[in-house]
Amino acid sequence: MRIAVLLPGEMWAFDVISIIQIFDDDSVMHGSPDRPIIDFIASGHTMELDHGMSIRTTALNEYHHTPDLVIIPGFADPYSIAADRREGDHKAGLFTRNPADALAARDWLIDCHTRGVEIAAMCTGVFALGWTGLLDGVACTTHLPFIDDLAAQFPKVLVARDRLLTHDAEHRIWTSAGGSMCLDLCIALLAEHAGQTMASTEANMLMMHYPRSVDSRRIAYASSNTLPAPPRQNDDIIALTRRVREHLSYDWTLTTLAQTAHTSTRSFQRRFADVIGVPPSKWLLSERLKAAKEMLELTDLPVQAIAMRVGLHNADLLRKHFSAAFGTSPSRYRQRFQ
């Protein structure tokens, strides 16, 4: 897997470091043949980040590889990016000191996408992607304070105000909110390209026990001037999710989950969604499918045996849910890792 990280201007260091941490972690990937190659691309041979940092880069006009994935981090000055209302080529000077560099980056992104490359944008990096036109008709998100600005600047974009992550598989585009969601986006991308086992191992190494999925929703949508209140830290819900993960083969239902949490089903569903970000039934199926992925990657167990171990009872049910979630059958998915 080859990743090109496009740095059009001065970028947010946290986003760039998140990419390095998730995709180039020696503690997890040392010696692995699936370890991604990361290329940092800019207009020249260095690019500034915030906090006085900089990173060595390859000049775009000297980059001749075709990556599997392009990632655009967020910008170091998000307020200027969000406030701009220029259109077309007049917007080029917003992203780079030399407008010609922005135009070249735009053409390169469009060319990459035409050749089948996936593109992911973090936080305000979504604004640069929107400027290319590749987000027209595509559901996307960004950091909550800038949601309204994204909709105002790009009226053809389908702004998903309640989403933390988006993945449009047909258009091969991912987007995320800002902050720690950049880590969640990278974990989701790692699972997609290198397998669930490596993604889970990296998440556990970083103590990310509950990385958000594309099904996650914001607790509540607020205006661009206010942030939502943080979710309540329900220790009993967290403890329950750990127990469920350790015993996926058990016949968990909404009733048994609520009973284990010592609450009514209605109250349980509300509290669970507040803490985890998705309804309990959707979370449970997602965990079972992730566990099935890991077994398909690491073992030669029959699909029926895997279905029983993850609590889906029979091979047909596993195949049905697996194909619906990932667009491929368990057997074909296994072939990727043999």
Question: pLDDT tens across 177-211, in order?
Answer: 999 999 999 999 999 999 999 999 999 999 987 78
pLDDT per residue as tens digits for the range 110-119: 999 999 999 9
Cα–Cα distance measured from residue 175 to residue 71, given in angstroms and rounded to the nearest whole number: 10
The pLDDT value recorded for residue 277 is 86
Which residues of the chain does CATH 1.10.10.60 include? 235-335
Give strand pairing partners of 160: none
The pLDDT value recorded for residue 222 is 44
Q: What is the mean pLDDT of residues 11-22?
A: 97
> In this model, does residue 226 exceed pLDDT 70?
no
For the chain, how many helices (H) and strands (E)? 16, 11
> In this model, does residue 230 exceed pLDDT 60?
no
Mean pLDDT of the chain, nearest integer: 92
Which residues of the chain does CATH 3.40.50.880 include? 2-205
Tell me, what amino acid is at 183? L
CB burial string 313-327: b at 16+ within 10 A, e below = eebeebbebbeeebe
**Per-residue confidence band for 223, with pLDDT thresholds at 50, 70 and 90:** very low
End-to-end, the C-alpha distance of the chain in Å comes to 17
Contacts of residue 328, defined as CB under 8 A and 6 or more positions apart, other chains included, come to: 322
Q: What is the mean pLDDT of residues 286-294?
A: 96
> In this model, does residue 247 exceed pLDDT 60?
yes
- Comparing CA positions, the residue from 69, 65, 73 lying closest to residue 19 is 73
Q: What is the mean pLDDT of residues 231-244?
A: 78
> According to the CATH classification, is domain 2-205 in 3.40.1080.10?
no
Contacts of residue 256, defined as CB under 8 A and 6 or more positions apart, other chains included, come to: 250
Supply the CATH classification number for the domain 235-335. Answer: 1.10.10.60
The pLDDT value recorded for residue 228 is 45
The pLDDT value recorded for residue 31 is 83
On the 0-12 / 13-18 / 19+ scale of CB atoms within 10 A, 255 is exposed
Residue 90 CA to its chain's centroid (Å):
30
The pLDDT value recorded for residue 219 is 63
Inter-residue contact 45 to 54 (CB < 8 Å): no
Q: What is the mean pLDDT of residues 4-32?
A: 94
**Location of structure tokens 């998000």:** 78
Percent of the chain with pLDDT over 90: 84
On the 0-12 / 13-18 / 19+ scale of CB atoms within 10 A, 237 is buried
> Which of the listed ranges 21-30, 67-76, 230-239 does the model predict with the highest average pLDDT?
67-76
Pairing of strands 54-56, 165-168: unpaired
Tell me, what amino acid is at 195? G
Tally of CB atoms within 10 A around 280: 24
pLDDT per residue as tens digits for the range 114-142: 999 999 999 999 999 999 999 999 999 99
Q: What string of DSSP letters covers 93-136?
A: HHHSSSHHHHHHHHHHHHHHHHTT-EEEEETTHHHHHHHTTTTB
**Per-residue confidence band for 144, with pLDDT thresholds at 50, 70 and 90:** very high
pLDDT per residue as tens digits for the range 69-106: 999 999 999 999 999 999 999 999 999 989 999 999 99
